Amino acid sequence: MRTRACAGSTPLGTLILHVDRRRVASVILPTIEWTRSCEQLTAQLEADDELLVVCDTENDPVASAALPEAAELLVAGEPKGCSGKANAVAYALERATQDRIVLTDDDVDRDDDWLETLKRHGESHGVVTAIPIFTSEEHPFRVFEPLCIVMASLVLERTTWVPWGGGVTFDRREIDIDNYVDDLRRTVSDDALLAEYADEIVAPRELVNRVAVPGDARTTYERITRFVKIFYRFERVKTVAVLATFLAVLAVGAVVPIPVAVGVTVVAYLRYRALGIDRRTWVFAIPSLVVAPFIGVAGILRPTFVWGGRRYRWTDTFEVEIVE
């Protein structure tokens, strides 16, 4: 933690140290097990940071794990009318003691200065989000990597549509924290909801984080349709507009396939290079584009989806049912 010295008004010009507390944060980490990513995060905590590890029940593996001294375990309980992630974040926010809040996940691959960089940008820009790079060594998710990487990075960098809950910071004094907590308990997405309370969201290129995910067919289907559902529930018009754009590109591609194929592949390649991604999955840009509209329609129309072992029926922004 940094300190700054200033001349006091006491005799002999005694110097009084004032602690700069702008970077002290409450770090909220929802998880059911202690992972390598959690260890990376713990190693980056400053002296007065608090790490709130939030699980659902005392039966979760993390509840009986040997947590570091810096971590405080919170048991949020089973969610009712919201997602497990939203419930955990709401529970921890009610118990956080610092003004600066950091929300993160247990599967983020973090650089050694990840937390310091996030907090530093938060001081300057308000609500700051990292950019997720979802990758997998399994099919079929590898085919969807260009779609997820290009769309996620463009949305985060160039819009205020949604931040990424795997790495986001804000000052609780700058949003309506009480209503945010209340709304968390009746929706699914903590990050899309945060965008409703933020005037601006900044996504620095210093914070590009890989997230390794399972890539089997079922898990991929659940993940991508959930992403679509989140966008659709909070921004229906924009979601439909993006879907229409995909369909328009495919229609043009049916007439002039070679120029469209080359253009789409080049866009994906350049986006990978701009984000510093050393992977060759940009070659899947065309199949990713072809499948995108069908996944989009499925995400909008599908009545339920699975996330974190629970099946949800999400019929409106603030209408969530956990399906037994």
Tell me, yes or no, whether 16 lies in a domain. no
Is residue 86 within 8 Å of residue 188, measured between CB atoms? Answer: yes
Question: Would you report the helix, strand and coil content of the chain in percent, each value rounded to 5?
Answer: 45, 20, 30
Q: For position 284, what pLDDT does the model report? A: 98
Q: For position 21, what pLDDT does the model report? A: 53
Q: For position 324, what pLDDT does the model report? A: 82
Q: For position 22, what pLDDT does the model report? A: 57
Q: Which residues of the chain have pLDDT under 50?
A: 1-19
Q: Is the peptide bond before 140 cis (omega within 30 degrees of 0)?
A: yes
Span 121-136, pLDDT tens digits: 999 999 999 999 999 9
CATH number at residue 266: 3.90.550
Tell me, yes or no, whether 66 lies in a domain. yes
Q: For position 4, what pLDDT does the model report? A: 30
Q: For position 282, what pLDDT does the model report? A: 98
Tell me, yes or no, whether 270 lies in a domain. yes
Tell me, yes or no, whether 285 lies in a domain. yes
Tell me, yes or no, whether 207 lies in a domain. yes
Please state, in angstroms and rounded to a whole number, the distance separating the CA atoms of residues 307 and 223.
Answer: 8
Tell me, yes or no, whether 71 lies in a domain. yes
Tell me, yes or no, whether 320 lies in a domain. no
Please state, in angstroms and rounded to a whole number, the distance separating the CA atoms of residues 39 and 62.
Answer: 13
Q: For position 23, what pLDDT does the model report? A: 79
Is residue 249 within 8 Å of residue 265, measured between CB atoms? Answer: no
Range of the domain at 52: 25-309
Domain count for the chain: 1
